[in-house]
Amino acid sequence: MQALANLNGQQMPLAEVKIPALDRGFLFGDAVYEVLRVYQGRPWLADEHFERLARSLQAIRIQGVDVVRLRRRMLETITAGRFQEATVYIQITRGAAARSHSFPAQATPLELLYVQEFDDPYRSARLTGGAVSTQPDSRWDRCDIKSTNLLANVLAMQAAKEHDCVEALFCLPDGALTEGTHTSFFGVLEGAVLTAPNSNAILPGITRGLLLKLAASAKIPVREQVLKRSDLGSVSELFLTGTTSEILPIIRVDDQTIGNGKPGPITRRLQDAYQQAVADYLRS
Protein backbone atom coordinates (compact mmCIF):
# COMPACT_ATOMS: atom_id res chain seq x y z
CA MET A 1 0.00 0.00 0.00
CA GLN A 2 1.49 3.35 -0.99
CA ALA A 3 1.96 6.10 1.56
CA LEU A 4 -0.71 8.78 1.28
CA ALA A 5 -0.14 12.45 2.10
CA ASN A 6 -2.08 15.62 2.65
CA LEU A 7 -0.18 18.80 1.80
CA ASN A 8 -1.97 22.01 2.79
CA GLY A 9 -5.37 20.33 2.37
CA GLN A 10 -4.62 18.44 -0.83
CA GLN A 11 -4.47 14.67 -0.76
CA MET A 12 -1.82 12.97 -2.91
CA PRO A 13 0.59 10.01 -2.89
CA LEU A 14 3.53 10.84 -0.63
CA ALA A 15 5.86 10.29 -3.61
CA GLU A 16 4.22 13.26 -5.36
CA VAL A 17 4.67 15.78 -2.54
CA LYS A 18 6.89 18.72 -3.49
CA ILE A 19 8.15 21.22 -0.91
CA PRO A 20 9.60 24.60 -2.01
CA ALA A 21 13.39 24.92 -1.63
CA LEU A 22 12.88 28.11 0.39
CA ASP A 23 10.68 26.39 2.95
CA ARG A 24 12.01 27.30 6.39
CA GLY A 25 11.63 23.76 7.63
CA PHE A 26 14.17 22.72 4.98
CA LEU A 27 16.50 25.72 5.44
CA PHE A 28 16.43 26.23 9.22
CA GLY A 29 14.63 23.26 10.76
CA ASP A 30 12.03 25.94 11.60
CA ALA A 31 9.33 23.35 12.15
CA VAL A 32 7.62 21.04 14.61
CA TYR A 33 6.26 17.53 14.14
CA GLU A 34 4.27 14.65 15.59
CA VAL A 35 4.17 10.90 15.03
CA LEU A 36 1.06 8.88 15.86
CA ARG A 37 0.48 5.13 15.77
CA VAL A 38 -2.62 3.78 14.06
CA TYR A 39 -3.94 0.44 15.36
CA GLN A 40 -6.58 -1.35 13.28
CA GLY A 41 -7.32 1.86 11.40
CA ARG A 42 -7.72 4.01 14.50
CA PRO A 43 -5.25 6.68 15.67
CA TRP A 44 -4.01 6.01 19.20
CA LEU A 45 -3.86 8.80 21.81
CA ALA A 46 -4.81 11.43 19.22
CA ASP A 47 -6.01 14.02 21.80
CA GLU A 48 -2.63 13.92 23.53
CA HIS A 49 -0.64 14.14 20.27
CA PHE A 50 -2.65 17.10 18.96
CA GLU A 51 -2.40 18.89 22.32
CA ARG A 52 1.38 18.48 22.22
CA LEU A 53 1.46 19.70 18.61
CA ALA A 54 -0.49 22.83 19.63
CA ARG A 55 2.01 23.40 22.49
CA SER A 56 5.00 22.97 20.14
CA LEU A 57 3.48 25.43 17.64
CA GLN A 58 2.94 27.96 20.40
CA ALA A 59 6.46 27.47 21.76
CA ILE A 60 8.07 28.34 18.41
CA ARG A 61 5.43 31.01 17.68
CA ILE A 62 3.90 29.56 14.51
CA GLN A 63 0.42 31.02 14.26
CA GLY A 64 -2.65 30.35 12.16
CA VAL A 65 -2.63 26.55 12.13
CA ASP A 66 -6.06 24.97 12.66
CA VAL A 67 -5.17 21.84 14.61
CA VAL A 68 -8.77 20.55 14.49
CA ARG A 69 -8.76 20.78 10.68
CA LEU A 70 -5.41 19.00 10.64
CA ARG A 71 -6.86 16.19 12.71
CA ARG A 72 -9.78 15.89 10.30
CA ARG A 73 -7.34 15.65 7.37
CA MET A 74 -5.47 12.91 9.20
CA LEU A 75 -8.65 10.86 9.67
CA GLU A 76 -9.62 11.37 6.01
CA THR A 77 -6.19 10.20 4.88
CA ILE A 78 -6.30 7.08 7.09
CA THR A 79 -9.75 6.24 5.69
CA ALA A 80 -8.87 7.03 2.06
CA GLY A 81 -5.82 4.74 2.17
CA ARG A 82 -7.69 2.03 4.17
CA PHE A 83 -4.72 1.90 6.53
CA GLN A 84 -4.84 -0.59 9.41
CA GLU A 85 -1.42 -0.87 11.11
CA ALA A 86 0.18 2.46 10.27
CA THR A 87 1.94 5.59 11.44
CA VAL A 88 0.99 9.20 10.82
CA TYR A 89 3.72 11.82 10.45
CA ILE A 90 2.71 15.48 10.75
CA GLN A 91 5.05 18.40 10.15
CA ILE A 92 4.28 22.10 10.29
CA THR A 93 6.89 24.57 9.11
CA ARG A 94 6.88 28.36 9.21
CA GLY A 95 6.51 28.27 5.42
CA ALA A 96 8.53 29.55 2.47
CA ALA A 97 10.12 33.01 2.30
CA ALA A 98 13.36 34.73 1.22
CA ARG A 99 16.09 33.30 3.45
CA SER A 100 16.57 35.41 6.57
CA HIS A 101 16.80 34.14 10.14
CA SER A 102 14.07 36.30 11.67
CA PHE A 103 10.41 35.45 11.04
CA PRO A 104 9.20 36.51 7.58
CA ALA A 105 6.52 39.23 7.53
CA GLN A 106 4.38 37.18 5.16
CA ALA A 107 4.57 33.42 5.20
CA THR A 108 1.89 30.81 5.37
CA PRO A 109 2.74 27.76 7.48
CA LEU A 110 3.20 24.58 5.48
CA GLU A 111 1.03 21.72 6.75
CA LEU A 112 2.15 18.26 5.72
CA LEU A 113 0.93 14.95 6.97
CA TYR A 114 1.30 11.46 5.62
CA VAL A 115 0.17 7.99 6.60
CA GLN A 116 2.18 4.89 5.87
CA GLU A 117 1.91 1.22 6.70
CA PHE A 118 3.82 0.22 9.83
CA ASP A 119 6.17 -2.73 9.57
CA ASP A 120 7.11 -3.14 13.22
CA PRO A 121 10.93 -3.06 13.59
CA TYR A 122 10.78 -3.59 17.38
CA ARG A 123 8.84 -6.89 17.47
CA SER A 124 11.74 -9.11 18.50
CA ALA A 125 13.47 -6.55 20.81
CA ARG A 126 10.16 -6.11 22.65
CA LEU A 127 10.26 -9.84 23.51
CA THR A 128 13.96 -10.41 24.15
CA GLY A 129 15.06 -6.91 25.22
CA GLY A 130 17.66 -4.75 23.52
CA ALA A 131 20.93 -2.97 24.26
CA VAL A 132 21.49 0.79 24.38
CA SER A 133 24.62 2.87 23.96
CA THR A 134 25.13 5.99 26.08
CA GLN A 135 25.94 9.10 24.09
CA PRO A 136 26.65 12.67 25.27
CA ASP A 137 23.48 14.76 25.38
CA SER A 138 24.64 17.62 23.16
CA ARG A 139 21.14 18.91 22.35
CA TRP A 140 19.84 22.42 22.99
CA ASP A 141 17.98 23.28 26.19
CA ARG A 142 14.43 23.14 24.75
CA CYS A 143 14.13 19.39 24.31
CA ASP A 144 10.52 19.74 25.49
CA ILE A 145 9.61 21.14 22.05
CA LYS A 146 9.06 18.47 19.41
CA SER A 147 11.07 20.33 16.77
CA THR A 148 12.57 18.84 13.61
CA ASN A 149 16.05 19.97 14.71
CA LEU A 150 17.19 16.40 15.24
CA LEU A 151 20.85 16.38 14.21
CA ALA A 152 22.12 15.49 17.70
CA ASN A 153 19.55 12.67 17.83
CA VAL A 154 20.54 11.47 14.34
CA LEU A 155 24.26 11.34 15.19
CA ALA A 156 23.66 9.64 18.55
CA MET A 157 21.35 7.03 17.00
CA GLN A 158 23.85 6.30 14.22
CA ALA A 159 26.59 5.75 16.82
CA ALA A 160 24.25 3.40 18.73
CA LYS A 161 23.43 1.47 15.57
CA GLU A 162 27.14 1.06 14.85
CA HIS A 163 27.36 -0.57 18.32
CA ASP A 164 24.47 -2.95 17.44
CA CYS A 165 22.15 -1.14 19.87
CA VAL A 166 18.42 -0.50 19.49
CA GLU A 167 18.70 3.05 20.84
CA ALA A 168 21.13 5.66 22.15
CA LEU A 169 20.64 6.90 25.69
CA PHE A 170 21.51 10.56 26.19
CA CYS A 171 23.81 11.25 29.15
CA LEU A 172 24.53 14.71 30.61
CA PRO A 173 28.00 15.61 31.96
CA ASP A 174 26.84 14.93 35.54
CA GLY A 175 25.85 11.36 34.58
CA ALA A 176 22.09 12.05 34.34
CA LEU A 177 20.40 9.75 31.82
CA THR A 178 17.74 11.92 30.20
CA GLU A 179 16.04 9.96 27.41
CA GLY A 180 16.63 8.14 24.15
CA THR A 181 16.89 9.74 20.70
CA HIS A 182 13.24 8.87 20.07
CA THR A 183 12.13 7.26 23.34
CA SER A 184 11.56 8.07 27.01
CA PHE A 185 13.68 6.25 29.60
CA PHE A 186 12.61 4.32 32.72
CA GLY A 187 14.27 2.22 35.39
CA VAL A 188 13.05 -0.01 38.21
CA LEU A 189 14.76 0.56 41.55
CA GLU A 190 13.65 -1.32 44.67
CA GLY A 191 10.31 -2.13 43.08
CA ALA A 192 9.52 1.46 42.02
CA VAL A 193 9.47 2.80 38.47
CA LEU A 194 11.71 5.84 38.04
CA THR A 195 11.74 8.30 35.14
CA ALA A 196 13.04 11.84 34.68
CA PRO A 197 10.46 14.52 35.54
CA ASN A 198 9.15 16.56 32.62
CA SER A 199 11.39 19.60 32.12
CA ASN A 200 13.15 21.37 29.26
CA ALA A 201 15.67 18.48 29.26
CA ILE A 202 13.28 15.89 27.81
CA LEU A 203 10.32 15.58 25.48
CA PRO A 204 7.08 14.99 27.39
CA GLY A 205 6.48 11.61 25.75
CA ILE A 206 2.88 10.66 25.10
CA THR A 207 3.67 7.00 25.80
CA ARG A 208 5.52 8.14 28.95
CA GLY A 209 2.30 9.83 30.11
CA LEU A 210 0.30 6.68 29.44
CA LEU A 211 2.91 4.52 31.20
CA LEU A 212 2.62 6.61 34.37
CA LYS A 213 -1.16 6.07 34.34
CA LEU A 214 -0.80 2.33 33.68
CA ALA A 215 1.70 1.99 36.55
CA ALA A 216 -0.64 3.87 38.89
CA SER A 217 -3.58 1.60 37.94
CA ALA A 218 -1.41 -1.47 38.51
CA LYS A 219 -0.39 -0.05 41.91
CA ILE A 220 3.28 0.00 40.91
CA PRO A 221 5.01 2.86 42.75
CA VAL A 222 6.38 5.62 40.48
CA ARG A 223 8.96 8.30 41.25
CA GLU A 224 9.67 11.08 38.77
CA GLN A 225 13.37 11.19 39.48
CA VAL A 226 16.42 11.29 37.18
CA LEU A 227 18.43 8.09 36.94
CA LYS A 228 22.18 8.46 36.76
CA ARG A 229 24.80 6.29 35.18
CA SER A 230 25.98 5.41 38.71
CA ASP A 231 22.49 3.93 39.43
CA LEU A 232 22.84 1.29 36.72
CA GLY A 233 24.42 -1.23 39.07
CA SER A 234 21.41 -0.99 41.41
CA VAL A 235 18.44 -1.02 38.99
CA SER A 236 16.76 -4.36 38.41
CA GLU A 237 15.10 -3.39 35.11
CA LEU A 238 15.26 -0.71 32.42
CA PHE A 239 12.88 0.04 29.59
CA LEU A 240 12.10 2.67 26.98
CA THR A 241 8.74 3.93 25.78
CA GLY A 242 7.70 5.54 22.51
CA THR A 243 4.90 5.75 19.98
CA THR A 244 6.33 3.09 17.67
CA SER A 245 8.49 1.18 20.16
CA GLU A 246 5.66 0.99 22.78
CA ILE A 247 7.46 -0.54 25.81
CA LEU A 248 10.91 -1.85 25.01
CA PRO A 249 12.93 -3.76 27.66
CA ILE A 250 16.62 -2.82 27.92
CA ILE A 251 18.95 -5.57 29.10
CA ARG A 252 22.34 -3.95 28.52
CA VAL A 253 23.77 -0.41 28.68
CA ASP A 254 27.16 -0.18 26.93
CA ASP A 255 29.03 -3.14 28.51
CA GLN A 256 26.88 -3.33 31.64
CA THR A 257 24.23 -6.05 31.92
CA ILE A 258 21.03 -4.92 33.66
CA GLY A 259 19.49 -7.18 36.32
CA ASN A 260 19.72 -10.80 35.18
CA GLY A 261 20.05 -9.81 31.52
CA LYS A 262 16.41 -10.58 30.74
CA PRO A 263 13.29 -8.37 30.56
CA GLY A 264 12.02 -8.01 34.13
CA PRO A 265 8.60 -8.73 35.69
CA ILE A 266 7.53 -5.09 36.09
CA THR A 267 8.38 -4.35 32.44
CA ARG A 268 6.34 -7.42 31.43
CA ARG A 269 3.36 -6.33 33.53
CA LEU A 270 3.48 -2.87 31.98
CA GLN A 271 3.76 -4.33 28.47
CA ASP A 272 0.64 -6.42 29.16
CA ALA A 273 -1.17 -3.37 30.54
CA TYR A 274 -0.22 -1.41 27.41
CA GLN A 275 -1.65 -4.13 25.13
CA GLN A 276 -4.80 -4.21 27.25
CA ALA A 277 -5.19 -0.41 26.98
CA VAL A 278 -4.93 -0.60 23.18
CA ALA A 279 -7.43 -3.49 23.10
CA ASP A 280 -9.86 -1.54 25.32
CA TYR A 281 -9.56 1.49 23.02
CA LEU A 282 -10.22 -0.62 19.92
CA ARG A 283 -13.31 -2.10 21.55
CA SER A 284 -14.66 1.34 22.57
**Residue placing its CB nearer to ligand PLP in the complex, 6 or 207:** 207
Write down the catalytic residue from 18, 146, 213, 228.
146
CB of 48 to ligand PLP, least distance (A): 8
CB 154 within 8 A of CB 119: no
**Residue placing its CB nearer to ligand PLP in the complex, 22 or 176:** 176
CB 92 within 8 A of CB 73: no
CB of 38 to ligand PLP, least distance (A): 14
**Residue placing its CB nearer to ligand PLP in the complex, 35 or 222:** 35
146 is catalytic: yes
Binding interface with ligand PLP (CB under 6 A): 35, 179, 182-184, 203, 205-208, 241-243
Structure-derived torsion over alpha carbons of residues 57, 99, 114, 164, reported in degrees to the nearest 10: -90
**Residue placing its CB nearer to ligand PLP in the complex, 107 or 239:** 239
CB of 262 to ligand PLP, least distance (A): 24
CB of 239 to ligand PLP, least distance (A): 12
Distance, in Å, from the CA atom of 63 to the CA atom of 66, rounded to the nearest integer, reads: 9
Catalytic residues: 146
